[in-house]
A and B are shown apart, each in its own frame.
Chain A
C-alpha cells in the first residue's frame, strides 16, 4: 500500500507508455507552444506554464483542464524539459484546485527522447469535461502565513534557490536545499532512500510542517514540494509567490555577512 502511494508522485516512461492511449489518462506538456508543436509525447496536450503564471486564478486553471477533457477521476501526467520544476509547479496547482490524481513523468522530455520513447507532432482534441472546484488551502502558504511561522520551531522553511543566492539573502531562519540536490543522474528525483537521507541529515522529520519557496514563482520549490511528498511528508506548503513577493513587500531578510562568496564563482 505504502509503495503505491509513493509511486503515484512520479511515473516512469514505461508505465506512461502503457497509458498513452488510455482515456482515463491525460498527458500535459508544459513546455512552450513552439516546442510542443515541433514534437511531443503522443496524445499530450500543451499547457505552457507561462499561461498559469500569468493568471493563476483557480477558475482559469479549471477552465483549461476541463477543455482538455479532464474530470475528477482522470489520471493527469505532467512533463517538461526543465528538470521537472515547471511540471512540478503545475502538479501543485492541480492539487490546489482539488485534483490529486496527478503524477510527474520521472524523466525530462529530452531524456524521454534519448531513451527512444515515442514522440510525434499530432495535435489531439478532447471533449470538454466537467471538473469540481475543491480548493485545498492546506498546501498553500501565503506571505502572511509564512511570516507568522518564521520563528516557529515546528516549521521548517526551505529555500530551494542556488547556494550563492541563498547566502546573499533569504527569509529569516530558512534553510537552504538547492533544487539540484533532488535530481539523480537520469531522473528528476532521486530515489526515496536518497531523498530521505537529505532531510534526515538535517534532522527534519516527516511530521514537521515544511514551507518551500524559491525565487519568484514556485517552480524550484514546486520540485521540492514533490520531492517531500514522494517520501511521505504530509504537511508541506508551497509559498507560491516566493522570495520575489517577500522582497517586494520589504519583509525582513537575512544575509550571510562579512564574506565575499560571489567572488569564488567562475561564472
Chain B
C-alpha cells in the first residue's frame, strides 16, 4: 500500500523482444520453402516462435503474441491494431491465457510481424510449442480486495527469467504457470503450476509466499492440481519453479502425445512420490544454484493522477447503472475501480484497439490495460468520478456492452473459425449465446451472475468447458446419412478453492444449446431455495446434495431430454447446419498443434 499514489519511478515497459529473431524466422521459412528443412523441424521451430497452424491450410498461421501477466501498454495496442489491418483480418483475438492472437496471417508475413512487434517490446517467442507458455497473472492482482499481496512483479520476473531460458526449450510438452490474486479470482488449480499469494504470520515475523499447486490442467483428461506444501516462501519461488520444470523435463512422457502433460506424470507417479521428487530436486537446486539464479523483481509502480474531467454527459442512466453493476469492480484502493470490457468471444477490431489505447491513456492511472482470464480486457485504476465519462467514451467506440463479469459473457475457443482440431463453430456459438442473454437482460440477475458458460469446439479444453457451471464441447451427431453439430454438456465445473470438473449431462444439438441454457435457468428459478444461486444450485445437484425436486443430474436430464430430439432434415434443415454455415455439416479436422 505504501507506494500507491506517490510516484517513485515510472515502471519501465518490459522489453520481451529480440529483434534478430525476425530475420532468423525469415531464413528458416525460406529453407523450408526450398525443401532444405523438413516440415517437422520447421513446425517445431515455427511453434517455438509463436506461429501456430491454421485450419486446413499450410499457407496461413495464427500468430500468438505473448502478453506476460496480461500487461499491455497503449503503444503496443496501437502497434497490434496496425498489424491486424496489414497482415490479419482487421480484428484481433484476446485469448483465455492473456495472449493476443492474429489469425489468418500469411506465413510469409510472420517475420514482418515479429519485427514490428519488437519495436514495441513484444514477442511471440515460446507462445506455442513445447515450452513455457505465457505466464498469467490475475487481472486484479494489485487491486483485488481479497489479495494478501500483489503477485504481478513475481509473475513478470519469472516470465523474464524463463523466456528463452535453455531450461524450457524442449520440454516433453507445453507448460503453464498461473499467478492469482486470491483464491476466488484466477485459476491456480487447473494449470501445471498455480500460485496463490499468501502471507505467513508467526509470532516472530510476517513472510510473503505462495500456495503452490502442481499438476492441474484441462484437456482430453483433466485434473485438479495438488498443493505442494502449506507455504512456499518467496525466496523459494524460483527454486521450486526450476525443480518442477526439471523433473517434468526429465521424467515427462515424450512418446505418447496424448499423455505428456505434467498432470499425467503426477497421476502416474502418484502425488506423494511426485512431491517427494520435487522437494528433493529443490533442495539440490538450492545448494547448487543459489548464486547464478536470481530474479529481479520490480515493485515500483507509478500511478498517475488524472485531472478531473468536466463531466457533461447525457447518459441513459438505466443502461449506465446496468453496465456499472456488471462491468466494474471496486479496488482495494479507495475511490478506484477496475473496469472490465465485454468483448464477443475475445474479438476486438483494430479501430477499437486504437480507441482503447487512447482511453487507457486518458482514464487508467497505471496507463496500461490488463488482459483477463475470460477473453476480456480490464482497465484499472479508474477514479470513481470518471466512470460515467469513461462509459460514454466506451459507447462511442462500441465497447460498452454490459454483462462482463456475468454468465452473459461466455467463453468460446476459436473452433472452426481457424483451428485444425475443431469440430464445431464454438466461437460463433459463444457470440450467439451472449447476444441472446444480453437481450434478455440475464446479466442483471444476481442469482445467475456467478455462473459461467464456456465452450470448446472439440474435446480438448481450450474453451475451458470443464470448469464452467454450464460447459459444452463440440462433436458430430449422426442421423441416418446426415450429420449435425452437437455439444456434450457438462455441469458444475469450477476453478476456485472448491475446484472440480464438470459432470457430463446430455449431448445437446448445436441449434438447441441456447434453448437448453434458458430452460436450465427456468428450472432453477422454479426449484431454487431463497439462498440458492445458479452456481451453488447446480453444484448441489451434481454432488447430489439438493433436497428439492431436482436432486440429481438424472432429474435434470429428464426435463432437458426434449432438446436432444433430432428433427428430420426435410422439416428442419437449419438444424443440420452449424452456426455460420449453409452447407451440410461434416466433421473435418487436420493435424493439431494444440492451441488455446
In the complex, A53→B578 CA distance in Å? 41
Interface pair B88/A163, CB less than 8 Å apart: yes
**Which one of A163, A258, A266 contacts B104 once the chains associate, using CB atoms below 8 Å?**
A163
Q: What is the total number of residues of chain A having a CB less than 8 Å from a CB of chain B?
A: 26
Which A residues have a C-beta under 8 Å from some C-beta of B? 162-164, 167, 176, 178, 180-181, 185, 197-198, 201-203, 256-267
Interface pair B344/A264, CB less than 8 Å apart: no
Interface pair A266/B109, CB less than 8 Å apart: no
**Chain B nearest Cβ from A158, distance in angstroms:** 12
Smallest CB-CB separation from B578: which chain A residue?
A260
Smallest CB-CB separation from A201: which chain B residue?
B108
Of the candidate stretches B135-143, B147-155, B412-420, the one touching chain A is B412-420
Q: Is B168's CB within 8 Å of the partner chain A?
A: no
Interface pair B416/A264, CB less than 8 Å apart: no
Interface pair B55/A258, CB less than 8 Å apart: yes
**Chain B nearest Cβ from A132, distance in angstroms:** 40
Known: A263-B417, A266-B343, A266-B348. A181 touches B425 (CB 8 A): no
Residues of chain A with a CB closer than 8 A to B579's CB: 260, 263
**Chain A nearest Cβ from B351, distance in angstroms:** 9
Known: A176-B106, A185-B82, A202-B108. A264 touches B56 (CB 8 A): no
Q: Is B111's CB within 8 Å of the partner chain A?
A: yes
Residues of chain A with a CB closer than 8 A to B88's CB: 163
Of the candidate stretches B63-71, B89-97, B488-496, B527-535, the one touching chain A is B89-97
**Which one of B82, B108, B416 contacts A258 once the chains associate, using CB atoms below 8 Å?**
B416
- Tell me whether chain B's interface is mostly helix, strand or loop, or mixed: mixed
Interface pair A201/B111, CB less than 8 Å apart: yes
Which B residues have a C-beta under 8 Å from some C-beta of A? 26, 29, 33, 54-57, 82, 85-91, 93, 103-104, 106, 108-109, 111-112, 343-344, 347-349, 352, 414-418, 425, 427-428, 431, 578-581, 588
Q: Which 8 A-B pairs have the closest CB atoms?
A: A266-B347, A263-B428, A260-B580, A266-B91, A201-B108, A259-B55, A264-B417, A180-B85
In the complex, A266→B91 CA distance in Å? 6
Residues of chain A with a CB closer than 8 A to B111's CB: 201
Residues of chain A with a CB closer than 8 A to B82's CB: 185
**Chain B nearest Cβ from A259, distance in angstroms:** 4
In the complex, A231→B376 CA distance in Å? 42
In the complex, A162→B90 CA distance in Å? 8
In this complex, the member of A162, A176, A259, A260 whose beta carbon has the largest number of chain B beta carbons within 10 angstroms is A259
In the complex, A257→B348 CA distance in Å? 24
In the complex, A143→B90 CA distance in Å? 30
**Chain A nearest Cβ from B400, distance in angstroms:** 14
Residue pairs across A and B with Cβ atoms less than 8 A apart, 17 shown, are: A162-B89, A163-B88, A163-B89, A164-B104, A176-B106, A256-B56, A258-B416, A260-B425, A260-B427, A263-B417, A264-B91, A264-B103, A264-B417, A264-B427, A265-B90, A265-B347, A265-B349
Known: A167-B104, A256-B57, A257-B56. A263 touches B85 (CB 8 A): no
Interface pair A259/B86, CB less than 8 Å apart: no
**Chain B nearest Cβ from A51, distance in angstroms:** 29
Residues of chain B with a CB closer than 8 A to A163's CB: 88-90, 104
Residues of chain B with a CB closer than 8 A to A162's CB: 89-90
In the complex, A202→B109 CA distance in Å? 8
Residues of chain A with a CB closer than 8 A to B352's CB: 266
**Which one of A197, A203, A260 contacts B417 once the chains associate, using CB atoms below 8 Å?**
A260
Residues of chain A with a CB closer than 8 A to B56's CB: 256-259
In the complex, A197→B29 CA distance in Å? 14
In the complex, A184→B85 CA distance in Å? 12
Residues of chain B with a CB closer than 8 A to A178's CB: 85-87
Residues of chain A with a CB closer than 8 A to B588's CB: 258
Interface pair B349/A261, CB less than 8 Å apart: no
Residues of chain B with a CB closer than 8 A to A261's CB: 89, 103-104, 417-418
Instruction: Taking A258-B56, A264-B418 as given, write out 14 further A-B residue pairs in contact, using a Cβ cutoff of 8 Å, ordered by the A residue number.
Output: A162-B90, A164-B90, A180-B86, A197-B112, A201-B29, A202-B108, A256-B56, A260-B425, A260-B578, A260-B579, A263-B427, A264-B93, A264-B103, A266-B347
Smallest CB-CB separation from A183: which chain B residue?
B86
